[in-house]
Amino acid sequence: MTPYDAAALQPDGLEEDESRQRVEDPGRGLLTVTLGQARFGLWVDEVLEILRTPPITRLPLSAAEVAGVTSVRGVVVPVLDLGQRLLGAPAQRPGRLVLIRHEASGSMVGLLVDDVGTLLGVRGDEVRPPPAEAEAELPPGLVTGVVAGSDGLVTVLHIGEAAAPPRTSTED
C-alpha cells in the first residue's frame, strides 16, 4: 500500500511482448474514512466530492441510519449516517460528508463519516477477502475486502451497498 499517485504509469495498450518489461499495476486510489476507531475505504473513482457537513434536515419516521436530507448547490441529497449503518453508533457531528453516486439509481447520496483520512494507492493483490466474521452481521456484499497497511487495517466497502436504502425486517 503506497500513497496514491494519479500520474502513475498506465499500460500503453499495445500487445504485450515477452521481451518487453511489464508495467507494474499502479493500483486504484482508496479514500480512507474513519468511524470511531475503525477505518473504512471507498474507491476514489466512486467518490464525487468531500464536504464539510452542511445542515441536515431529519425526516420524520426514517430509519436511524438515515440522517436526513441536505441541499448541495440546490440539489436535495439524502444523507446516510455510515456510523449508524456500520457500527450502530452515529457519526460524530459535524463530521464530514462524502458525496457518491449510487450506482443502482444514479442519484447522488451523502455518507456522513467522522473524518476523512488519507488517499492510498492499492494494487489488486493487496486487497484480501474479508473474514467471514466481519461480514456476519452486515448486509450481504457490503464489505469487499481488507487492506493491511503499516498503520492498521482498512475495511474496503462496496459503495453501492453502503449507500443502499435501509433494509426493513420484511425484506429478510
Q: Would the pTM count as exceeding 0.85?
A: no
126 phi and psi angles, rounded to 5 deg: -90, -15
- The Cα 142–Cα 161 span in angstroms is 5
How many domains does the chain divide into?
1
pLDDT at 118 over 90: no
Structural domain contains residue 6: no
Banded pLDDT at 116 (limits 50, 70, 90):
very high
CATH of the domain at 122: 2.40.50.180
Structural domain contains residue 40: yes
pLDDT in tens, 40-69: 999 898 899 999 999 999 999 888 889 999
Structural domain contains residue 34: yes
